[in-house]
């Protein structure tokens, strides 16, 4: 049983208000769908806390967490060395490979094909770290200070400002269904995604980890995964 005296008064989930299915998006009535959205609700239920989404631009996630404007960040945060200087992280709730999105027919099928090409990624992300390993490409960082950084990269690709961009495969699978876009190639990086909490709050981190472990062990996380991402292998084993 979780000690309620050590809990946050509610679970305010810092996240981006942009469409990124199957992870998260809002319908025309304002309801937020997707794997991460449902995971946030399930965590709150497991912790016995009221729940709300705390929308921020991508670049403002960690300042908002430090300022107490949210209790966790649950929004596409691959656990990187840089991000671990900004917050503490739970055990992973997802593991994804990375992929390179291109204009359909541009025939960029390997890192060597990107030599001299402009390749976008979110600044200081694991995706940018991968882009920086592509010898000879020109890395173009996207700052995340707009309200739709993924949309910014898609628009830049379509407009020819960049030749490709890197993101986690789960975010690119729906985009690959667009008639003018496709996945050029994937890289099996197996990036672990975690929930960020304010640095140094060990009791709260332990409680969120305990709730996540419960959701994993009772099969609820696997159910969410198979509901929203049936084409991707569940990374934590089956019950």
According to DSSP, residue 160 is labeled: T
Please report the pLDDT score of residue 145 as a whole number.
79
Using alpha carbons, select from 9, 8, 11 the residue that is nearest to residue 39.
Answer: 11
Q: Say how many domains are in the chain.
A: 2
Residue 239 domain-assigned (yes or no): no
Same domain flag for 165 and 186: yes
pLDDT of res. 5:
38
Answer yes or no: do 89 and 100 share one domain: no
Same domain, 12 and 34: yes
User: What CATH number does the domain containing 110 carry?
Assistant: 3.40.190.10
pLDDT mean by block of 10 residues, the chain; 239 residues:
52 94 95 98 97 94 97 96 96 97 97 98 94 98 86 97 96 93 97 97 96 97 97 86
- Could you give the residue ranges of the DSSP H alpha helices within the chain? 35-47, 61-66, 81-84, 126-131, 149-158, 169-172, 202-217, 220-228
Do residues 49 and 114 both lie within one domain?
Answer: no
Report the pLDDT value the prediction gives residue 173, as an integer from 0 to 100.
87
Clarify whether residues 108 and 185 are in a common domain. yes
Do 63 and 111 sit in the same domain of this protein? Answer: no
pLDDT (0 to 100) of residue 1: 39
Indicate if 54 and 138 belong to the same structural domain. Answer: no
Is the bond preceding residue 22 a cis peptide, omega within 30 degrees? yes
Sort 107 into a burial class: Cβ within 10 Å, 0-12 / 13-18 / 19+. exposed
pLDDT at residue 3, rounded to an integer: 44
Residue 84, SS3 per DSSP = helix
Domain of residue 82 covers 4-93+194-228
Indicate whether 113 and 160 sit together in one domain: yes
Q: Are residues 39 and 149 in the same domain?
A: no
200 lies in the same domain as 84: yes
Same domain, 89 and 99: no
């Amino acid at each position: 049983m979780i000690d309620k005296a050590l809990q946050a008064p509610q679970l305010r989930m810092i996240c981006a208000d942009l469409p990124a299915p199957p992870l998260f998006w809002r319908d025309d009535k304002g309801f937020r769908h997707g794997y991460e959205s449902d995971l946030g609700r399930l965590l709150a239920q497991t912790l016995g806390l009221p729940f709300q989404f705390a929308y921020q631009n991508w670049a403002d996630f960690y300042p908002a967490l430090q300022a107490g404007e949210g209790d966790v960040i649950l929004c596409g945060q691959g656990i990187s060395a840089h991000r671990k200087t900004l917050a503490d992280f739970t055990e992973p709730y997802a593991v994804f490979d990375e992929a390179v999105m291109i204009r359909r027919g541009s025939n960029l099928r390997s890192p060597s094909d990107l030599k001299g090409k402009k390749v976008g990624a979110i600044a200081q992300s694991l995706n940018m770290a991968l882009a920086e390993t592509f010898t000879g490409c020109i890395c173009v960082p996207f700052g995340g200070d707009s309200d739709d950084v993924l949309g910014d990269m898609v628009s830049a690709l379509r407009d020819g400002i960049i030749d490709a961009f890197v993101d986690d495969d789960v975010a690119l699978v729906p985009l690959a269904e667009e008639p003018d876009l496709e996945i050029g190639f994937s890289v099996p990086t197996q990036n672990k995604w975690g929930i960020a909490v304010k640095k140094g709050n060990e009791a709260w981190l332990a409680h969120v980890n305990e709730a996540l472990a419960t959701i994993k062990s009772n099969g609820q996380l696997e159910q969410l995964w198979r509901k929203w991402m049936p084409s991707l292998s569940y990374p934590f084993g089956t019950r």
